[in-house]
Amino acid sequence: MRKIGLAVILLLPSLCLMANAQRLPDNAAPDGYRITLAPNFEKDNFTGDETIQIRVLKPTANLVLNALDIEFQEATISAGGRTQTAKVSVDSVKQMATLSLAKPLAAGPATVHIRYTGILNDQLRGFYLSKANGRKYAVTQFEATDARRAFPSFDEPAYKATFDVTALVDKGDTAISNGKIISDTPGPIAGKHTIQFATTPRMSSYLVALAVGDFEYVEGSADGVPIRVWATPGKKAMAHYALEVAEQCMKYFNNYFGIKYPFEKLDLIGLPDFAAGAMENTAAITFRDALLLVNEKHAPNFAYKEIGAVISHEMAHQWFGDLVTMQWWDDIWLNEGFATWMESKPLEAWKPEWHMELDDVLDSGNTLNTDSLQNTRPIHQAADSPDQIEELFDGIAYGKAAAVLRMLEAYLGPEDFRAGVDAYQRAHA
């Protein structure tokens, strides 16, 4: 995720709350989700239908999922040839829902089915409302702990699973998600159509993405990977530069990393209302549209470099964060530090006149200033509650971690360090 700048970092809550036990119990784990979401722009809400294939790791009569602002309509769990209706109790403080059964589940496979409704909120988090051109859009922003606002889930990064996403949307609208569209059929309700996306690779819940509206796109490709840049109507003409950057970065990263781009396609989506600068959802990166789209007739020179750096940063995340993901948020520097370290390299190769190495020096200097403050923190910082996790997205996780990586790269030599990065990715993909 790309934060907008130091001002945003300084505005983050500086709460030092005692964390309640907000981690899920270790008695079950997900293998795959099948989720259908149907936004309703008249009521500003959505309905959801979800099936989770899980592994019960220990016999239990209680399954705990993360859920927030979700109203459960029905919850059942099937295992061993028996289907039980679960009693659901919600703890909004811990952002959890407990599904209790009359008869305990034995260790082994089980299927959870949930029907529910949720809110298309105005908080720029979870599944929320965005607005442009006098109409509404439904889009997602899940990092760090907001997938639970869109679907009950094991909303912790270590619980990787596959996702089969389906969207029921208004006629005339489209939808974009992590997978390619594999079917688009009318109905089942008049004035609606159903878009089904391909099964994703195993990934963390915070990387799931869905955007619904009358988006338009320009398209290209690099190394056989289809790339599209999406925008709301009236802005498509400003997407061509972003497409060129993405194509250049794709070629560079595929050459640099020992693992080629690990997903089937890449979508870059410009949104008018977006809390972060950009977000590295797997194969469906979302951006504040001012950091993706450019009017090439009037844009200042610095805008090209800034947009290029943001796109490069988020594309680097497809390897650092998406392919390889930290076990828990205390190691968010593994995502953000590596992506920040990497973002200048494709641009330096493509546009040497930009002298991206000077930007790296400036960033390191700014980081030294931040790290000299009395309330600085170590790169690795414990965090349990959502508030504590949010505080980790600061200049230390991004800038200091990147500066340390540059130092190690200079000490070891670029090729030895590159070999180490490849070994790290292969070991933890």
User: Which of these is catalytic: 50, 156, 280, 314?
Assistant: 314
Q: Which of 120, 115, 276 is closest to 206 using CA atoms?
A: 276
Q: Which two tokens stand for residue 283?
A: 């194969």
User: Other CB atoms closer than 10 Å to residue 349's CB: what's the count?
Assistant: 15
- In the chain, % helix, strand, coil (3-state, to 5) comes to 30, 35, 35
C-alpha to C-alpha distance for 422 and 425, rounded to whole angstroms: 5
314: annotated active-site residue: yes
Give the amino acid at 228: R
Q: Fill in the DSSP letter of residue 397.
A: I
Burial of 220 (0-12, 13-18, 19+ CB in 10 A): middle
C-alpha to C-alpha distance for 397 and 380, rounded to whole angstroms: 8
Place of tokens 């469906």: 284
Q: What is the dihedral of CA 394, 395, 398, 401, to 10 degrees?
A: -120
Q: Which of 83, 86, 143 is closest to 282 using CA atoms?
A: 143
Cα 130 versus chain centre, distance: 17
Q: Max alpha carbon distance in the chain (Å)?
A: 68
Question: DSSP assignment of 67-84, as one string?
Answer: -SSEEEEEEEEEETTEEE
Q: Which two tokens stand for residue 26?
A: 């270790």
Place of tokens 């996306």: 197
Burial 184-216 (b: 16+ CB within 10 A, else e): eeeeeeeeebbbbbbebbebbbbbbbbbbbebb
DSSP SS3 for 222: strand
For 247, list phi and psi in degrees, rounded to 5: -65, -45
Q: Is residue 232 a contact partner of residue 187, using CB atoms and an 8 Å limit?
A: no
Residues with catalytic annotation? 314
